[in-house]
Amino acid sequence: MHGIVYVDNKGNHLSPLYTWQDGRGNEPFGDTTYAEYLGCSSGYGHVTDFYNRTNNLVPEGASSFCTIQDYFVMRLCKLTKALIHTTDAASFGLYDLKKRCFTCDSNLEVVDGYRLAGSYKNIPVSVAIGDNQASVLSSLSSDREALINIGTGSQVSVICEKAEVSKDFEVRPYFEEKYLAVGAALCGGRAYAVLKEFFKS
């Protein structure tokens, strides 16, 4: 999620994976930072791309970028252009949740709903979807349930009908014109590690 790989017009990668941990967006840009200038967080795809473009670091021949999972789907299906699901597109930043499109100039092809990208050895291959959305899709049996994930971080996810802005939770795109309300914390697995060390001591 959030990270990008630059690709050429034949679908070949031209760069390493810039992950969500890319902190260059926090470097000074004018009287602010690259991330704050765009109104996004450092490590989001559009911030990484903005930093690279501003500093002439985009690989020669790059026609676009995509997530690593989009690139994997491209290779499996022998595509020349990535199909980026709205659940991944939103992770790049500069994305309008209600209109389901970017708020900046973009040549990225964004798709919605349940979509096939192609096939690999006659096996259908889906367009890649966001990791949080994938966990909800595979775990909840109804819209009246909540999912609690504890991994590197921790999340509480609930399916909702509207993209309501709140300081208490983040809203992410989901399927069938619905959204996820997500309360997320950075402490997940780390909290277990601290607890383990506490009991150990």
Tens-digit pLDDT profile for residues 95-129? 998 888 899 888 899 999 899 999 999 999 999 99
DSSP structure string for 131-194: HHHHHHHHH-SSTT-EEEEESSSEEEEEEESS----SS-EEEE-STT-EEEEEEES-SHHHHHH
Examine the pLDDT at 189 and tell me if it is beyond 80: no
* Average pLDDT of the chain, as a whole number: 92
User: 27-30: which pairs have CB atoms within 8 A and are 24 or more residues apart?
Assistant: 27/51, 29/54
Question: How many alpha carbons fall within 13 Å on the CB side of residue 84?
Answer: 27
pLDDT at 141: 86
Tens-digit pLDDT profile for residues 43-54? 999 999 999 999
- Banded pLDDT at 165 (limits 50, 70, 90): confident
**Helix (DSSP H) and strand (DSSP E) numbers for the chain:** 6, 14
Question: Which tops the pLDDT comparison, 168 or 67?
Answer: 67
